[in-house]
Amino acid sequence: MTTVRATAPGRVNLIGEHTDYNGGLCLPIAIPLGTTATVTRRDDEAVHVTSDRAPEGSAWRQYVDGVVAELRTLGWAVPGLDIEVTSTLPLGGGLSSSAALECAVATAVAGLLGHELDSHLRRVLAEVARRAETLHVGAPTGGMDQLASMLGWPDHALLLDFADLERPGVTPVPCRPGAAGVVLLVTDTGVRHRLADGDGGYAQRRRECEAGDPRRWRHVRSENERVRAAAAAMEAGAWGRVGELMVASHVSLRDDFEVSCRELDLTVEAALAAGALGSRMTGGGFGGCTITVTHEGRVDAVRDGIDAAYEAAGLPRPVHHEVAPAEGARLT
């Protein structure tokens, strides 16, 4: 075969933030938005990347090069490639557009070389993607995003346990908001962050955790307990309890871990004021998205309440996406 196409999803973390690189727990879902990579074998050694997102897409080059380099480190004979990338994910918006890109390219190349995409290979490719981002792009991410993108499953969240960083535990937990008359609403604040910025907040928080900062660790410990409780509540369909835990997570991220920002706080407060069951920032923070859980009947009120709060604050209108657990990376 000379041309193979693969799609990999972005993710939303329901709860468990800044825990992955601290040996803790998180609970992401893969979402229906994603990135598609079409790879065609070339006769020479060159790797060419084109995308529908130029000029932003030019930043994608380093992720692609990182994935190809890491696949070659595995011993794979990756040939020269033409890679065409398209995406429905907002870039740098907190929905793991970078993990989706890495996983789409890795999955497509695996397909081109005839490897079977079984659960073992999915884990290997998640690690390839994480290493590409950490070693080649310089974004010291923890591994949650790449595992969610490779292993995501409809009607399930993934309880990820990073106690063994070499081999994270992956437990699918039933996640059927629709069956309980509940909606998961992602709101993109429009504020962009860059995880690869060495002086940025994400890398700084990692350093503070490594140094044993007690307040940062108070967040990590309490967050791990909330993840356990939320996984149990979600499996039981107790979305009101999940919502309470999400709010407690947001408060801890805002006050103890200090990775929220004005727009994230405003979104969470407006969602709760409009009757949502729970809401929190999701992802690394300093911008990006919130995740809100609300009864179906209130979703319009919640959306309108958030929009009105942005308007009153003089902020550009945010973008909302209703999401549900989706399938991980696949050939398409």
Could you tell me the two tokens for 250?
A: 């947001």
Among the residue ranges 108-116, 135-143, 211-219, 227-235, the one whose residues contact ligand GLA (CB under 6 A): 135-143
Our CB check for ligand GLA shows the closer of 10 and 79 to be: 10
C-alpha 313, offset from chain centre: 28
Q: Does 142 bind ligand GLA (CB under 6 A)?
A: yes
Determine if 66 is a binding residue for ligand GLA (CB under 6 A): no
User: Going edge to edge, which strands form the sheet with 156-161?
Assistant: 25-26, 156-161, 169-174
151 and 328 Cβ atoms separated by less than 8 Å: yes
**What are the backbone angles phi and psi of residue 136, rounded to the nearest 5°?**
-105, -35
- Nearer CB in complex with ligand GLA: 169/178: 169
Binding window for ligand GLA (CB under 6 A); candidates: 139-147, 229-237, 269-277, 290-298: 139-147
Using CB under 6 A, pick the residue from 4, 5, 7, 17 that binds ligand GLA: 17
- Judged by CB under 6 A, does residue 254 bind ligand GLA? no
| Active-site residue, 145 included | yes
User: Among 111, 243, 283, 325, which residue sits at the site for ligand GLA (rule: CB under 6 A)?
Assistant: 283
Considering only residues 166 through 195, tell me which ones interact with ligand GLA, judged by CB under 6 A.
Answer: 195
Q: Is 70 in the site for ligand GLA (CB under 6 A)?
A: no
Percentage helix, strand, coil for the chain under 3-state DSSP, each rounded to 5: 45, 25, 35
- Stretch touching ligand GLA by CB under 6 A, among 1-9, 15-23, 32-40, 63-71: 15-23
Catalytic residue among 20, 44, 118, 145: 145
Should residue 144 be labelled a site residue for ligand GLA when binding is judged by CB under 6 A?
yes
Q: Report the run of H or E that residue 61 belongs to, with start and end.
A: helix 60-73
| Identified binder of ligand GLA from the candidate list 5, 9, 12, 21, rule CB under 6 A | 21
Judged by beta carbon, residue 182 or residue 195, the one nearer ligand GLA is 195
Are the C-beta atoms of residues 79 and 113 closer than 8 Å to each other?
no
Q: Give the CA distances from residue 304 to residues 1, 43, 90, 297, in Å, rounded to whole numbers and listed in that order.
A: 49, 54, 21, 13
d(CA 241, CA 250): 14
β-strand partners of 84: 38, 50
By annotation, the residues acting in catalysis are 145
Q: Which residues bind ligand GLA (CB under 6 A)?
A: 17-18, 20-21, 141-145, 195, 283-284
